[in-house]
A and B are shown apart, each in its own frame.
Chain A
């Protein structure tokens, strides 16, 4: 905030944060090209993204030194956000009977319809390669 009067120092800090963010962006793209399991890939990608987000929030949004009221509001928001995500993960298996099946038939139909006729780098969402994500 405005307490800082040494602007040169402040700018140097922002350039450092920028460099770190750029490096982390390259790292996250590099990690994604590795042949690792989907669970590890998700963990690493979210870990890097959270690190980058913390840097932006701490320095660019100067949350590292802010008034108590803003911490209060954002803690409450973080709590609500986490609860929402936990609820979603918790209810993942609460799918009405047959819903998943219907969805599956759609994909099979889609894959069949496009088979062979649709160039090599197909744009259809069949790519089952890492049938990842579902339990």
Chain B
């Protein structure tokens, strides 16, 4: 019946359950994906005779609110994991629901920001600044959407039903999706000052 090995117990040679090692390897590749784009930003900026100040072009208050929203979503994500360790399902539903709500608020604010720019006819071809702005924030937003879909699955009964049969495995799943979610938050922590404040 059990097809995937080491979903709960640690593999002796790694000391980790497989999914946890897997997500960290994936996050390592994500560091290089975003890192490549960040280095592209440095190259574009240093190669340009002039570079705009982000606060002249973007809405800093909206960006600040979005930063706080993502930080909040990270806290509620980690609290959802604690709730499972406490075997407190209502609290898990509440905290994971808050994480989902935060992801929705983040995307709405991002849509408002994009929409305002589009309505002014400002697209990636506008300048090197906007090209890298749309690329970095667009890729980040895709990560939010992807993460939110997975979180939604775990929040709905179809995902949560594993709790009844394999509680530890379900807790591990939430830990793993949490690690991804915190990483997406971490990327934004760098994107915000780099694009909005410098």
CB <8 Å contact, A107 and B75: no
Q: Restricting to B4-50, which residues have a CB under 8 Å from any CB of A? A: 14-16, 20-21, 24-25, 28, 31-32, 35-36, 38-39, 42-43, 45-50
CB <8 Å contact, A81 and B32: yes
**A14→B73 CA distance, assembly (Å):** 12
Q: Which residue of chain B has the shortest Cβ distance to A128 in the bound complex?
A: B50
Chain A residue numbers with a CB within 8 Å of B15 are 67-69
Chain A residue numbers with a CB within 8 Å of B196 are 32
Known: A14-B75, A52-B189. A123 touches B194 (CB 8 A): no
Main SS at interface, chain B = helix
Q: Which residue of chain A has the shortest Cβ distance to B51 in the bound complex?
A: A133
Q: 1/0 contact trace for A52-87 toward B, CB 8 Å?
A: 110011011100000111100110111011001101
CB <8 Å contact, B49 and A100: yes
CB <8 Å contact, A32 and B197: yes
**A78→B31 CA distance, assembly (Å):** 8
CB <8 Å contact, B47 and A61: no
Q: Point out the residue from B21, B25, B49, B193 that lies within 8 Å of A49, measured CB to CB.
A: B193
Q: 1/0 contact trace for A99-135 toward B, CB 8 Å?
A: 1100110010010000000000001111111111111
Interface centre among A22, A41, A59, A81 (most CB of B within 10 A): A81
Chain B residue numbers with a CB within 8 Å of A95 are 47
The verdict on B120 contacting chain A, using a C-beta distance below 8 Å, is yes
Chain B residue numbers with a CB within 8 Å of A76 are 28
Q: Which residue of chain A has the shortest Cβ distance to B38 in the bound complex?
A: A85
CB <8 Å contact, A25 and B48: no
Q: 1/0 contact trace for B104-137 toward A, CB 8 Å?
A: 0000000000000100101000111110000000
- In the A-B complex, the 9 residue pairs with the smallest Cβ-Cβ separation, listed nearest first, are A32-B197, A125-B127, A45-B193, A77-B28, A88-B39, A127-B52, A128-B50, A18-B75, A60-B182
